[in-house]
Amino acid sequence: MSTINNILNIVLPPLSLVLLPIYMLPYLFFKLFIYVKSLFYKENMAGKVVLITGAASGLGEQLAYEYARQGARLSLVDIKKENLVEVADMATSLGSPDVIIIGADVSKVQDSKQFVDETINYFGQFSDAVNHLVNNAGVGGDPRLIEDCSDVTKYTSIMDTNFWGAIHGTLQAIPHLKNSKGRIIVIASYTGWFPLPRLSFYNASKAAVISFFETLRLELGWCIGITIVTPGFLKTKMALRAYEYEASLRIIPMGSTFECAKEIVKSACRGNMYVTNPSWVKVMFPFKMFYPELVDWAQQHVFGLLPKSSKNGNLHILKNNQVLKEE
């Protein structure tokens, strides 16, 4: 096996440089065809059933309103059920023919089974009981450096909600989504592929979400569509709290939840695999891929993370493969 790997190490790099330009032109034509097709065809959501988690505020609330404008029937889920009442009333006034609200904690398997079952039972008279599942529920946690996190158990709720919360509901809904040839929309974050300092656990949870749903897309094939959303910082209570807690994050401009929700629903109805809003965030991806050292250096400067010499601190210097300490 080592011989095969050695051969591949030698052959594949130059071969890829030859093949990439050759495949680029056909791929661009394919993307153009998909784009033109999307201009003339998009899924009509009128009368269809959409299940949205974390719908009581922020992006989830705006997604409920946007789907309501499309005439969709809504199943709104949030851990704070009382906050869903006003959202449901607004969604009805915007055009949704039927709205139910369900109080549930997405991080719990039993609660996830409950809100999927309640949705199916309530909208069971329709052949397509669930058409879109929107995994939006999420938490952020307080921004801080990793070395300052002495008790990591305080941050397990981030993974429980952001990652497992999306998994639990998805696994319960997959059989119904297969029947309706429906779609999963999962709200990740651009920090899943462009991690920001002081948000390590949040970054990790969103990276796990992206990886899981890309794998799920491979396994499901064309049975269920999957749209992965990687928004930038949006003006939500969670983001405002992070801004208030950590001043260095304020350099990042906030996007609009209204505009983001509008783009998500439009892209999901067109069958897009990915959505990023604000769109300028996508520019960061090639920089992260091709110039990782530059990106890390820039972030360290912007967020004030460059090491500072201290008379009282320990200065570690690597010289001739030896670590020297200055007390």
Q: Would you name the residues annotated as active-site residues? A: 202
List the one residue out of 44, 36, 30, 28 whose CA is nearest residue 266.
Answer: 44
- 3-state secondary structure at position 74: strand
- Euclidean distance between CA atoms 218 and 133, whole angstroms: 18
**HSE of 93, CA atoms in CB hemisphere, 13 A:** 6
- Euclidean distance between CA atoms 172 and 165, whole angstroms: 11
CB-count exposure of residue 185 (10 Å: 0-12, 13-18, 19+): buried
Whether 298 contacts 286, CB under 8 Å? no
Residue 109 CA: distances (Å) to CA of 147, 160, 163, 224, 275: 32, 11, 12, 22, 28
Whether 68 contacts 74, CB under 8 Å? yes
- Apex CA 223: angle with CA 221 and CA 226, to 5°? 75
Whether 275 contacts 269, CB under 8 Å? no
